[in-house]
Structure 1
């Protein structure tokens, strides 16, 4: 996308949009202030809420981190559940994600989170209603992860975790639409944990790496994809360049690539004319299983935060436990 490239290449023409960014800042600042003084109502759920989000548009690795966080919470004795927006899905009421759902019904990321985490996942644009529905359906849940909910101030939270792209950083540091930021970098000073994904950032508390755990076939009984094979990359994610780097790091050769917009609703026609094996992201794979063909694979990945992040998270989880009497 030309605008996105301009943000991260720091193209001069982006600064022509600064008046619109100033308007965006005013609107978001007033909105947050209204929540702070109580003019706009916010709600606290009866269990602790951890928000995992970012201050920039585009992918920062929230999904693999959320899967890792679910494991950590279980190791600390919690029973986690997840609430999510369900991007691109129209929902009249909160919906519990089930195995028979498609990505078109509940969203690609919530479906992936439900499949991989083993945690109950509820989708709704209303995060409060989603949390209440989750607790009603799964009363044993004693902690909630709000996926990509940093700017949803109607839901009170006990911990805020923000991910930054360690390769691209915060771009030109401007708010939308002159830059990629939803909130100013100063917002990072107010959150509990800032994690740089796949790189270093001076504002981060630590970093995490994304490790590929191998290519998995979308269809059963398919031969393994050897790392030396040339593949065509397919991705409909916020930062396909990171996926490309992961594929190369895993040893695969890239013959061609087809990158689509984030959350692209894939159909069979998107794959026309491809003769090499196809390698896609796991988030995209959940949207393609209904029409998958032999030779289609996805790259499974795992998040690996460093010890600094693990130690800081452990300290904060212990404080949460004592506060809620766990």
Structure 2
């Protein structure tokens, strides 16, 4: 007899109804109306000048989304940072630092860990090699980063779209295939804010095979770039596809993913012909203790998980880090360039 599947939890049921609606979502509508009213009061406070958007000495690009869960903000942030680097602009990153132990503002340093910064900010710091500061108050984090790195030209906020005190010269809005879900605000739906018409200083990226809203935007492409042993990844060595394909046919592999939507990672691995046991973990899950047995033949990890596992903590099991290429779509670079020319007219040079 095959083992029975675990019964869906209340959270599983709610997330399913966030896509298409249902009785549980409908029952939560009064709370959504209350949430909408609170958002309207907050917007009114800003219009009346009771609260205000702060000022910073450099432009801020906010990468965010309207829907809860992993829509692809971090890979989009990395793509924006690469474009800024190519254009010779010195960028820093501010983020909330979800899942870290520390409180207050923390500026990344040479010995910073995921417990200091959070997994995604540390990944950005390592991958993009840019200064990073984290804090619930994104404005305070921005000021601390600018004080520590006075040569920065621009800041990128990984998330922070709903952090209204943070100024923004450009918004990069990210959607995945869920689009707007059932169109309802939290908690009856997945929306963190009401949907809005297209804005002037906004770029939309769809981390999906096709557009999932009516907003015009660019279709991103996600693909696996390859694999590299954990120790080599920490040493800064690049992953390559032959190393990943060499794992085809190896028995006993586990694939672990502490992501909001781990099935994407598993599907991409399976699409390359790898055989493995999928082991989904909670988003931002810690790897202490290790979530695999001591006798595992090998483990495949995402980079988001690898930043939480220094090589000395991996034990004797071989661990490979599987990296991702994220291409934000044809025309994205030109659209971003147009905004950068607006923000930096005196220093812009055409190719």
Pair in the same fold by TM > 0.5: yes
Q: CA deviation at 1:175?
A: 1.0
Match of 1:292 in 2: 314
Matched, 1:316 2:328: no
Corresponding residue for 1:216?
228
Indicate the larger mover: 99-108 or 229-238: 229-238
Q: 1:247 to 1:36 in 2, by over 3 A?
A: farther
Matching residue of 1:244 = 266
Change (3 A) 1:25 1:112: same
Higher helix share: 1
| Pairs within 5 Å for 1:111-260 | 111-165=122-176, 167-186=177-196, 189=199, 192-201=202-211, 202-220=214-232, 224-225=243-244, 226-228=246-248, 229=250, 231-253=253-275, 255-260=276-281
Pairing 1:36-51 to 2, within 5 Å after superposition? 36-51=47-62
Q: CA deviation at 1:312?
A: 1.4
What is the Cα deviation at residue 82 of structure 1? 0.5
**1:239-259 residue CA offsets vs partner (Å, 9 max, x unmatched):** 112222222234322x32221
Number of aligned residue pairs:
324
Q: CA offset at residue 90 of structure 1? A: 4.9
How far apart, in 1, do the equivalents of 2:295 and 2:190 lie? 33
Residues 232, 204 of structure 1: alpha-carbon distance in 2 compared, 3 angstrom cutoff: farther
Question: For the residues of structure 1 that align with 2:346 and 2:169, how far apart are their CA atoms?
Answer: 10
Distance 2:110 2:270 in 1: 32
The alignment status of 1:96 with 2:104, answered yes or no, reads no
Could you list the runs of 5+ residues in structure 1 that have no partner in the other structure? none
Q: Deviations over 1:50-89 (max 9, x none)?
A: 0001111111111111111111012222111101111123
- Residue 42 of structure 2 is aligned to residue 21 of structure 1: no
Pick aligned residue for 1:106 from 114, 117, 137: 117
Structure 2 equivalent of residue 74 of structure 1: 85
Distance 1:91 1:190, change over 3 A: farther
Secondary structure in structure 2 of the residue aligned to 1:30: helix
Q: Which residue pairs with 2:17 in the alignment?
A: 6
* Counterpart secondary structure, 1:280: strand
Q: Which is further off, 132-141 or 167-176?
A: 167-176
- Deviation of residue 318 (structure 1)? 0.8
Deviation at 1:109, TM superposition (A): 0.6
In 1, are the aligned partners of 2:341 and 2:348 still within 8 Å (CA)? no
Aligned-residue CA RMSD (Å): 2.4
Match of 1:268 in 2: 289
Q: Give the Cα separation in 1 of the matches to 2:114 and 2:328.
A: 28
Contact 1:78 1:143 in 2 (8 A): yes
Deviation at 1:170, TM superposition (A): 2.3
- More off after superposition, 151-160 vs 240-249: 240-249
State the secondary structure of the residue aligned to 2:196. helix
Higher mean Cα deviation, 275-284 or 45-54? 275-284
Q: CA deviation at 1:219?
A: 2.8
| SS at 1:283 equivalent | helix
Once residues 177 and 312 of structure 1 are traced to their aligned partners in structure 2, the CA distance between those partners, rounded to angstroms, is: 34
Whether the aligned pair in 1 keeps the contact of 2:172 and 2:204 (CA below 8 Å) is yes
**In 1, are the aligned partners of 2:32 and 2:184 still within 8 Å (CA)?**
yes
Give CA deviations for 1:266-322 in whole Å, capped at 9, x if unaligned: 213422366242112110111122521332122101210122222211111111112
Return 5+ residue gaps in structure 2 as ranges: 1-10, 234-241
CA distance in structure 1 between the aligned counterparts of 2:291 and 2:200, rounded to whole angstroms: 42
Which is greater in Rg? Answer: 2
Please give the alpha-carbon distance, in whole angstroms, between the structure 2 residues aligned to 1:203 and 1:155: 24
Tell me the CA shift for residue 148 of structure 1: 0.5
Query: Could you tell me how far apart the structure 2 residues matched to 1:176 and 1:274 are?
Result: 43
